[in-house]
Structure 1
Amino acid sequence: MFTTYKQALDWIHARLRLGIKPGLKRMEWMMERLESPDKKLKAIHVGGTNGKGSTVTYLRTVLENSGYTVGTFTSPYIEQFNERISVNGQSINDEDLVRLVNVIRPLADELGETELGGPTEFEVITAMAFYYFAEVRPVDVVLFEVGLGGRFDSTNIIQPLASIITSIGLDHTNILGDTYEKIAFEKAGIIKDNTPVFTAVQHEGALQVIKKQATEKNAPIFVLNGDFSIPSYQSLTKGEQFSVDSKFGNFADLEIAMLGKHQTENASLAVVALQYLNEQKHLSVNEQAIRNGLRAGYWPGRLEVLSDQPLVIIDGAHNDEGVSTLVQALSTRYANRSIYIVFAALKDKKLDKMIAQLDQVADQISFVSFDFPRAAAAGDLVKLSKSENKMGVEEWRSYLSEEVVKLRDEVLVITGSLYFISEVKPFLQKVLSEEKISI
């Protein structure tokens, strides 16, 4: 029996040693022993390569504005582990987390003695979320973000009201496959029989795979730029404005606070999915709730402005598609300003293409490493860059502290691994506060 938060968290993290073990058998075993909390939940399932967290956020804030109590299960976290299991945007408290671990640990120990083997860290956390939302803190709706892939992801035991596939990119290729089509097949594994699926996937080969899976499951499918569209879009000083047209209704001049054209696509997925569920009377959502909810949507670490003067931005662009989106946003918004980029990444990513894109937009690019088992060395990242103004930095904390003070009209962008961003954000907030820089 654990009595402290640290003991509980240490036990969870110790399960990282078990690595990734795709499959649903262990989850099904635990759910059966817990009397099937997964079957007591009304849920929406969100998968894809990029954009999952933002889409979950838009769904949550609109549903909250509709009067619902909304649970979310997301990963990874940016500031605190507890973020992963939240209700109406408020993280689970330490006491409840300890309580959940004491419920799940005996099952994990028992499961470890079977031929299935012990559950992984992610499976343990997923089981905790199911039990929490069903038994400890009952909610009206739960939004489950897929951890990895879809078909064999531990969240995939749910029977949701709707499935959403945001995008397809070449990430985790050693596990999911090395083509868009192979990855799309894994992501499409969240499509359930007779359950609607909404997608913003534009890669034709990947989209055909998703459509094929939807047809085989008799699942209605709604595709961006086909079944619904964004006919108008413009950047605002602090956000984006856009319109959405669909068979369920048209909305002009919607606004979001998150930056980037890609966020309008994530928001449109949330809007159309909720319009459908409203029409089917699974949920009750009106236009005002959609407008207010979208404006309230906030997701940390995604083109997040930490200060305006000087302009400091963090963005967890951790794969090729994420970097493409970042570069597009920087080129559009800050074309007339010098852009300084600080980049850290995991060494098992396809780093050459990512760095080549950053080189194109950066007036200065600095590469750093950080304290994480899979982190790439700064020197190795420097070698991949073709920039004429590049450097490797051994100690990122002192470097960033010095850079922030020197900034004038330049834009400082810290990007790369989400694990890195989770370390950088609280550090930079402290530096900015101490320097009395406007936030």
Structure 2
Amino acid sequence: MTDTNKAYAGETGSLPTYQAAVDWINGLIPFGIRPGLHRIEALMERLGNPHRRLKFIHVAGTNGKGSTCAFLTSVLVKAGYDVGTFTSPYITKFTNRFQYNGQDIEEETLLALANELQPHVEAIAETELGSPTMFEVSTALAILYYAKVTYPDYVVWETGLGGRLDVTNIVFPVLSIITNIGHDHMDRLGDTLEKVAEEKAGIIKPGVPVVSAATQPEVIDVLKRVAAEKKSSLYLIGEHFGEEPREVTEEEQTFRFQGLFRSIDPIRITLSGAHQRTNAAVAVMALETLRQYNALVVDDEVLRAGMEEASWPGRLELVQRDPRILLDGAHNPEGAEMLAKTLKSTYTYEKLHVVMGMVENKNHRDTFKHILPIVDTLILTEPDYRMAMDVQQLADIVQQLRQDMGAERPFELVVEKDWKQALQTLQQITGSNELGVVTGTLYLIADARARLLYNSDSEKGW
């Protein structure tokens, strides 16, 4: 196995630098998110269908996709497998999205692959299909990186949006994972949980096993029906596997994994929250399923070490200790509920101060409903992002909720449009026995993380 990243020298093209390549890909953002596989299929056809040479673990769900990908990658790399990991959005740098054995793609390699892709993208743009989108080109770049440069044993492959019509669904995986299903992107995926479940279940392929953490009866009904139609074995948390907490602290937690095939006890992880034990259990069940179906070899001690070493930035991540500042990308009601539960059950503090910024197409009211009852200070701000929710509109929602809920506890509301000033205010008001939290959209988390960790190399975006 090689731990080092591999540079790739493709043909030179019209893109002269790494930054020019990133600018070209991001320049496709105005084409939006256009569900459907026609453009990516045309692109893959022109490239010789390189995705057919790879073994994918396809991960969909509302929350927990990134953490589950991190657990899987960490264990597989620890076990000696070469692993590609494709995730979105990125927290620090565009190259974060394309990893090989936990390392970002090299800038020169990304540039070479972008130059290889550009003429094909432009040719398709001239047809009735129209221009491939930013996410379609990023997905194609990932496939080229794994199929032509690094040749991993497995590719951990995160969906972008939904599942059925998501660009990533062009692949035929060895295993499908649906972490959970909740109220997110309902403007695009459907206005009921059943409709959202139908879209997520679109990644289930004939005969390919599925592991899921979904718990709602109406969602489980959809998953069971689709799995039966596709003759796929479905492994559900609570029915075929589960986790039992052993010890939980702010720094780490241990649990017992109980699976259909066997139990593993204890497993230790450093990610906080009961939901991360769920994500970890899903990852372990996925590995156990691959052991049964694909003769995957992972020693128990290696599995334990890989799970413990797994990290995922911006999810209940303690980035500062004096004062304590946590980052958590809780950008929908389910995420906010998990954050609130974890803060109450795992962390000790005299006062809680929270900075929040959101994007427009989210369920703001139901997200705030979980946050307002627990805060002492709520600082609303605007992320530096084209779809940022106006801070005054957010404040109006909070004030209305305050009246409707008869606020279980009084809290101070601060409206600060400038996210840098909001972050500074949080640091100033958070005392030694108190806790500061930055939450909401990952676009805010990315900027706050870069600033708090003095990371000058930070980019940000899709």
Per the normalisation by structure 2, the TM-score is 0.91
Q: String of CA shifts for 1:263-315, please: whole Å, max 9, x gaps.
A: 01111111011112112234211211210010011000101110223211000
Residue 282 to residue 27, structure 1, CA distance change in 2 (3 Å)? farther
- Shift of the alpha carbon at 1:335? 5.1
Question: Percent same amino acid at aligned positions?
Answer: 39
Partners of 1:240 and 1:261 within 8 A in 2? no
Q: String of CA shifts for 1:155-207, please: whole Å, max 9, x gaps.
A: 11111110000010111111100111000000000000000000000111011
Partner of residue 424 from structure 1, selected from 429, 444, 448: 448
Residue 437 (structure 1) aligns with: none
Residue 30 (structure 1) aligns with: 43
Cα distance in 1 between the residues matched to 2:33 and 2:250: 42
Q: Secondary structure at the match of 2:443?
A: helix
Q: Secondary structure at the match of 1:255?
A: strand
- Shift of the alpha carbon at 1:402? 4.1
Which residue type is aligned with residue 36 of structure 2? G
Report the number of matched residues: 431
Q: Secondary structure at the match of 2:453?
A: helix
The reply on whether 1:404 has 2:417 as its aligned counterpart is no
Cα distance in 2 between the residues matched to 1:14 and 1:98: 15
Q: Secondary structure at the match of 1:280?
A: helix
Consecutive unaligned residues of structure 1, counting only runs of 5 or more, are 432-439
The reply on whether 1:394 has 2:417 as its aligned counterpart is yes
The reply on whether 1:84 has 2:104 as its aligned counterpart is no
The reply on whether 1:6 has 2:19 as its aligned counterpart is yes
The reply on whether 1:334 has 2:330 as its aligned counterpart is no
Cα distance in 1 between the residues matched to 2:422 and 2:157: 38
Residue 292 (structure 2) aligns with: 279
Residue 256 (structure 1) aligns with: 269
After alignment, is 164-173 or 335-344 more displaced? 335-344
Consecutive unaligned residues of structure 2, counting only runs of 5 or more, are 1-13, 403-409, 456-462
Q: Secondary structure at the match of 2:130?
A: coil
Q: String of CA shifts for 1:206-246, please: whole Å, max 9, x gaps.
A: 11101110000000000001011113343124121111111
- Shift of the alpha carbon at 1:90? 0.9
Alignment of 1:365-384 (within 5 A): 365-384=378-397
Residue 150 (structure 1) aligns with: 163
Partners of 1:49 and 1:166 within 8 A in 2? yes
Cα distance in 2 between the residues matched to 1:82 and 1:379: 34
Alignment of 1:116-131 (within 5 A): 116-131=129-144
Cα distance in 2 between the residues matched to 1:345 and 1:402: 18
Cα distance in 1 between the residues matched to 2:26 and 2:233: 39
CA RMSD of aligned residues (A): 1.3
Q: String of CA shifts for 1:329-363, please: whole Å, max 9, x gaps.
A: 01112355311000000122110111121101111
- Shift of the alpha carbon at 1:405? 4.1
Q: Secondary structure at the match of 1:430?
A: coil
Partner of residue 305 from structure 1, selected from 296, 307, 318: 318
Per the normalisation by structure 1, the TM-score is 0.96
Cα distance in 1 between the residues matched to 2:429 and 2:222: 50
Cα distance in 1 between the residues matched to 2:214 and 2:247: 21
- Shift of the alpha carbon at 1:404? 1.6
Cα distance in 2 between the residues matched to 1:81 and 1:338: 36
